[in-house]
Chain A
């Protein structure tokens, strides 16, 4: 077992290849992670829709996310779950902010509604109506895209 032939021999493995692989994996996960997606709460199981269109980069401008959980509570990033009254107040403030962005005091912000699939229709409708009352006119409904040929 003696390897006394050469004094410069070392038993160090070549880590360069391993580092290359690790770096590649690291880059992959860095590219995939998107912290903005925390707006999209994982607690909300979206309905499945064939008519849902894939998101485009153009859709990412000036959005306000409203997640509605199974119990009808509105979940907003960085905020405690809200009931309808608290949401109304929050929307009022957001509407003021949105108006301040534009010189003509109009609101161009789109409301993205991410409602749980088992929440009742009246909850979602009331929420949208509330947004409408506060001056928001553009809505986008989020859903999981279904495979067209797939039966449910």
Chain B
């Protein structure tokens, strides 16, 4: 071993970095091109309701049948239903937006209406109304949403948001009444 060292005192062992750098750059470009930063995505658990959503009347203790979507279906059926009507027409800007919201209880439906309000304001009004209604209910967690078939999915999700803000943690999607 000593013989080899003595021969070339000035010789250095140099690692060839350039090819490694080339390869690293190629990999870097590959990953740069494949990098698509997405918006932060979340998820909501979901429940599908019965074919005929039951509003509570005299069957307080009767559980919902065919309830799916959640691990534990509610023991008491939902007492409140949010009905959402959709705008119709050929104008793609307006079609599929919310035209009317009403909250149905055992006593009957109550329209959430105010002249000249935006969708955001309408949803805020819905939240406020649901908060008041919720205090009078036995089942304060479950709400049924019944939207017309043409309603755009984004508005369905926003109505669900409004229900959640009011304290209803479980939203059940009912079949569209006009399906």
Contacts and interface: CB of A to CB of B under 8 A. Distances in A.
Interface of B: 10, 17-18, 20-21, 24-25, 27-28, 31-32, 34-48, 68-69, 71, 86, 96, 120, 147-154, 156-158, 160-161, 164-165, 173, 175-176, 179
Given A52-B44, A121-B150, A137-B68, A47 B157 contact: yes
Given A22-B24, A26-B31, A32-B35, A47 B153 contact: yes
Which secondary structure dominates chain B's binding surface? mixed
A44 B27 CA distance: 28
Contact of B44 (A40, A49, A137): A49
A87 B87 CA distance: 29
A125 B47 CA distance: 11
A52 B176 contact: no
> Which of A112, A113, A120 gathers the greatest number of chain B CB atoms within 10 Å?
A120
Contacts of B46: 113, 128, 139-141
Nearest to B67: A137
B179 to A, nearest CB: 6
Interface string A113-130: 101111111111100110
Contacts, number: 160
Nearest to A28: B31
Interface of A: 8, 15-16, 18-19, 22-23, 25-26, 29-30, 32-33, 37, 40, 42, 46-55, 59, 112-113, 115-125, 128-129, 132, 137-145, 151-152
B154 A47 contact: yes
Given A50-B165, A139-B48, A30 B31 contact: yes
Contacts of A113: 46
Contacts of A122: 149-150, 176, 179
A26 B22 CA distance: 12
A55 B41 CA distance: 7
> Which of B10, B34, B96, B158 gathers the greatest number of chain A CB atoms within 10 Å?
B158
B43 A55 contact: yes
B43 A121 contact: no
A7 B28 CA distance: 37
Sort A-B residue pairs by CB-CB distance and give the 4 closest, nearest first: A52-B42, A29-B31, A122-B149, A117-B154
Given A26-B28, A51-B161, A40 B38 contact: yes
A118 B34 CA distance: 27
Contacts of A33: 31, 34-35
Contacts of B34: 29, 33
Contact of A117 (B31, B40, B41, B152): B152
Nearest to A146: B161
A131 B86 CA distance: 25
11 contacts: A19-B17, A22-B24, A51-B165, A52-B43, A119-B153, A121-B156, A139-B48, A139-B69, A140-B45, A144-B40, A145-B42
B31 A46 contact: no
Contacts of B27: 26
B158 A47 contact: yes
B88 to A, nearest CB: 11
B68 A118 contact: no
